[in-house]
């Protein structure tokens, strides 16, 4: 029997010009509320089943069914705050899964050699000006197009070979040739030989060597930036 999940990653960032990091609890709350997974619909629509054990199954990301987006808090001088979202489905990646008995629990899910890459130069937010500024100025995604998330190996205790899991995973995110360990809160499940993963996290643009966008006397994008992923991988 077995359980399937996988977390993953990828990231992206802001909106359209430069800024100092601003710490605001209300901003973090707004982002969290915006990207919080819909647990009600998930619980209603996903039937938790038990799976048969398997070893070293290779899964490939289906980009047509997957997406990565950023959620950037944009603060205007008149105190209005909006969340700007940019999204792409230019995602590639793979990972190996093993589900079997283990000492830590009734069963364990092992994830090995996970590597997922997103093309940040293809992020679309509905504003050509904003997208161009990210590509050419802030994130410089035309020069550094790839965001890569990797995990060498991680093992999740999995009771009774369940097909659904909620976990926090930590992998290495590489953007602009800078590597940072980043945790993701993920929900994942397996159905019909497909692995479905939804995940959320927050990052600070300065970790990767650039300021969040700002426009003098008009608006500024506030750190942290939310990251939301939805991945479907097939055997």
Q: How many CA atoms lie within 13 A of 181 on its CB side?
A: 4
State the DSSP H helix or E strand holding residue 26, giving kind and residue range, or none if neither. helix 25-35
Per-residue model confidence as pLDDT tens digits over 100-145: 999 888 899 999 999 999 999 999 999 999 999 999 999 999 999 9
The DSSP output letter for 128 is H
Show the domains of the chain with their CATH numbers.
25-234 (2.40.128.110)
DSSP SS3 for 83: strand
Please, what sign has the CA dihedral across residues 217, 208, 126, 80?
negative
Structure tokens, 76:
């205007």
Nearest one of 183, 178, 223, 179 to 205, comparing CA atoms: 223
For residue 28, the tally of other CB atoms under 10 A from its CB is 16
Nearest CA to 116 out of 88, 138, 135, 140 is that of: 88
pLDDT in tens, 77-101: 878 899 999 999 999 999 999 999 9
Q: Which residue has the higher pLDDT, 45 or 63?
A: 63
CB 155 within 8 A of CB 108: yes
pTM of the model: 0.80
Tokens, residue 98: 């093993």
């Amino acid at each position: 029997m077995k359980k399937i999940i996988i977390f993953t990653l990828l990231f992206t960032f802001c909106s359209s010009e430069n800024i100092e990091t601003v710490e605001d609890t209300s901003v973090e709350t707004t982002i969290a509320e915006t990207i919080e997974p819909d647990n009600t619909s998930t619980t209603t629509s996903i039937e938790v089943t038990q799976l048969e054990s398997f070893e070293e199954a290779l899964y490939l990301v289906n980009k047509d069914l997957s997406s990565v987006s950023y959620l950037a808090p944009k603060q205007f001088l008149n105190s209005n705050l909006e969340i700007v979202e940019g999204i792409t489905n230019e995602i590639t990646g793979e990972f190996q899964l093993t589900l079997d008995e283990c000492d830590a629990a009734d069963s364990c899910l092992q994830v090995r050699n996970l590597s997922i890459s997103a093309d940040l130069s293809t992020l679309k937010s509905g504003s050509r000006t904003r997208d161009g500024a990210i590509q050419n100025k802030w994130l410089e995604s035309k020069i550094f197009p790839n965001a890569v998330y990797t995990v060498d190996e991680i093992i999740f205790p999995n009771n009774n070979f369940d097909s659904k899991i909620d976990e926090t995973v930590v992998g290495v995110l590489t953007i602009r040739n800078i590597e940072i360990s980043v945790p993701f809160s993920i929900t994942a499940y397996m159905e019909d030989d497909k692995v479905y993963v939804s995940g959320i996290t927050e990052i600070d643009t300065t970790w990767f060597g650039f300021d969040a966008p700002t426009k003098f006397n008009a608006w500024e994008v506030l750190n942290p930036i939310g990251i939301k992923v939805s991945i479907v991988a097939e055997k």
